[in-house]
Structure 1
Amino acid sequence: MATAVTERTGLEVRLEGLSRHFGDVRALDNLDLTLHPGELVALLGPSGCGKTTALRLVAGLDEPDAGRILVGDRDVTHMPANKRDMGMVFQSYSLFPHLTTQENVAFGLKLRGTDRGAREKRAKEMLELVGLGHQANRYANQLSGGQQQRVALARALAIEPSVLLLDEPLSALDAKVRAQLRDEIRRVQLEVGTTALFVTHDQEEALAVADRVGVMNKGKIEQLAEPETLYNQPASHFVAEFVGLMNRVPCHVADGRVEVLGATLGAREGSLPSGPGDALVRPEQLEVAAAEGGSGRVITVSFLGSITRVRVRMPNGSELLAQASGAEAARLAADQVVTVSITAADVLVAPAD
């Protein structure tokens, strides 16, 4: 079912030259990032890359050593967290166990002095928005983990924040609930139109919910792009190998052309300029076919529903992971001799690993 998208009325958020050090550790290194009004940007990266530090600075839970944070036309860099007009959803649900679901959602409004009738009305609206209108009188211990996180989201949105911050909000949930709730968060964010910053280490999560994804490494953003661009046109070797599955295939580069798996392809911008290297190739860009004179041998065939992954050992001892449809993979079996070919028109070449 299509989701109705409201006019994007959120505020622009700008992080300008943010730096943060913890002793000798440089958590953020002159970070620049702009979130457009109503946009959801995900920060993605390994542990220690600086993504959570960036979110904490925006939230006012920490202060930068240098740089500034602007929300709309306000400089909030040194403003207390409770004055920033931001809603935050944490990894832990942080619901008050002695309050009902509706009372939890209305709590922020109560602190702001909103009269009882208005805050009850708003809390009910937010619970309906996240699909929990029928659970208004339940307590936290009577809800599942996914339901508790929906309540936390409703509570963050009830105060009508100018910015919504989400700090790995789904990591404590099981895989099925996580997939359902990430779609729900995106639907709600689109309906409300709030500018949102979403921090996660889960690449599938980031690609599924964000307008743009920033891949962070060592306190910097290596690439900020729409999910499709990030996946299909990674700007660096780090991004290519961090986002999605990637094969390293031995190759040779000369004059902007790449010799790999018996094919000659174009070399993408950022590739090794010449000499031996590793072509970075997605599993879906490899085709595996049974052939008596083939040079590869199937190690495993893993059925994953709509797709099948085939792991092949090559003559040089390296292993390649290919992706095939059910019909193609049905003809393959472990220990079978196969050929491996590449379907990409160009590749990114990294220094040999």
Structure 2
Amino acid sequence: MHLAQLHDGEPVEFITSNVRNRHGSWLLKREVDIRSVMMNTDCFTSHGISGFDQIIENFDGLLIPTEADLPEHTAYRSFMTPAFAPRRIAEMDEVIRKRVRQVIARVGPRGGCEFMAEAAYYMAIAPWCEIMGLDYSEADRWIRFPVGILQYNDDRAELMAEMIEAARGLYRELKGSDREGLLAAFVNTPFDGEVPSEASAIGFIVFMLIAGVDTVGATLGFAMRQMAMDKVLRTRLRSHPADVAPFVEEVLRRYPVVATNRYVKKDVKVGSVTMKAGDNVILPMSMANSDPAANACPMAFDVERGRTRTMTFGAGMHMCIGSRVARALLQIAVEEWLLAIPDFEIPDDAPLVARVGDVIALTALPLSYPITSAATV
């Protein structure tokens, strides 16, 4: 309920040095303000919003496409679009289900699991590997980077540097190759007459990893938590598979995990506040979706809510290109889990802790279930 209380305060607040920006940031709370900033490319820029340059010494790359402005962003978006088209996502259904079932087969017979560490990210990375052209057998190697970095632990800078070196190695492996997948295509495709530099390729690989694995895994955790707390809901979704899609949409609305940001390019007024060039502005999708002016009774979880005004995947030219992939993975994971393990719960003594920052996520989600219910895996 903390989000609802935040809406009672000033719609724009300044917060001092934070994990997003050491110089302080403006925090926006109203959906209308957050959306307007994301749409206003004249006054706001995405350059440097990852903060990598503040943490990693001599890091001079941009995370592509999220840190690219016009006109470069248009070229990158056009290049990526075919890989995320509805037909391509539909073609991946079988392999995604196969990977999800493999995860369930591993944890199901135990009678319990720590869902975030043992299942969520191993499911989320399945479509990412297919699209990017990487071997699913290397899932462990790639999962640890975004999940560990977004925990904001003391070793964050070291882990970020290690991820960049892993991306550098992958770039050199893919450069000049005829490998399939979006990463190899990006590395070897000319943009404006030139193939991407090593720094640009590293930025692309790193962003695809963070956006494609951690965000979806985090959302899946909240979906499982919601079902674990509500037996009636579980029964309904298993008995009426058509309700899984609206359930996923309500999960996406109620639990948007991303908080992005922008830098001010030139002085601009947002609400009653004048922001100066160089200022940082935090745009939490959780605040946008929980704004009562955008969605009635926003804190209530309602599968029958119907059409909503949601900003889970952002707005404007940077609206998440992978939204269809996220929806597909979430729906498949829910369907397959309920078929194999229809009854599960969170142990009474299990503490639930969430991390905040760029991506909100449960750091742990212990689940218990009858071993016999997993026998159909």
TM-score, scaled relative to structure 1: 0.24
Richer in helix (by share):
2
Richer in strand (by share):
1
Whichever of the two has the greater Rg, that structure is 1
TM-score, scaled relative to structure 2: 0.23
